Amino acid sequence: MTSSRGNPHPLLLVLLLGSLVKVANCSLVSTGDFNRDFYVTWNPSYVNTSADGHTRTLKLDQGKGSAFASNEMFLFGQFDMKIKLIPGYSAGTVVAFYLTSGQPNRDEIDFEFLGNVTGQPNILQTNVYADGSDNREERISLWFDPAKDFHTYSILWNLHQVVFMVDRVPIRVFRNHADKGVPYPRWQPMALTAAVWNGDDWATRGGLDKVDWSKGPFVASFGEYGVHACVWKGNP
């Protein structure tokens, strides 16, 4: 929305300023302790945290998954998490690291790791929701075994673009083209979330390969993380 001279429309400026006054200083806002920065949102008995709070595991077993989310909500920032995926047979499972506003017309920025049969690579799917609109999935095969060791997965989100990174290497850039009518996540604050669940109706070969519960429980590990972001201080 622009004025007749091509400058930003006054209403747009008012909306932007109204959002900015609800955002604290953008800085490192994480402590490195899962117990302090996150809370369990799904199946606490399936979530295990180390004594020092520096690592956490999520379990999927007999159809029940688990998840945790950040105590704070954010409007823009960089979010890094070291993750080690489910080893061995993991077909049908989904491990996710994502930002979400949680609203019906939600904004969301996703890393989704799709499990596979033994010997086949895990597929990394990225997606961007804006105002409840998605269908922006892209998939790649990772160039390493993500279940052997921890690797760093990062989301850089600002007013101009969303950048997905693996071990600091950009693998996808989604630019803000809202001025051309393309929805972009720019208004809704989002929480940082991690989860593991049963997605065997679609995750592996379009749902052909199912979760084999006899090989469970399926465990994903989360390690060192960093949140350099703007904390939202108003209502979502």
Q: Sign of dihedral through CA atoms 205, 211, 212, 218?
A: positive
Backbone angles phi, psi at 18, to 5 degrees: -65, -35
| CB-based contact 222:83 (threshold 8 Å) | yes
Q: Which residue has the tokens 């095969």?
A: 141
Separation between Cα atoms, residue 206 and residue 202, nearest integer Å: 4
Establish whether 137 is a catalytic residue.
no
Cα–Cα nearest to 103, from 185, 201, 12, 205: 185
| Catalytic hit among 112, 137, 138, 224 | 112
Query: Is the peptide bond preceding residue 217 cis, with omega within 30 degrees of 0?
Result: yes
> What 3-state class would DSSP assign to 13?
helix
Tokens of 14: 């008012």
Establish whether 112 is a catalytic residue.
yes
- Cβ neighbors of 202 (< 8 A, separation 6 or more) are none
What is the number of other CB atoms lying within 10 angstroms of the CB of residue 183? Answer: 18
Q: List the 93-100 sheet strands across, edge first.
A: 38-42, 66-70, 191-198, 93-100, 108-114, 123-129, 138-141
> What 3-state class would DSSP assign to 19?
helix
| Catalytic hit among 72, 108, 138, 224 | 108
Provide the annotated active-site residues. Answer: 108, 112
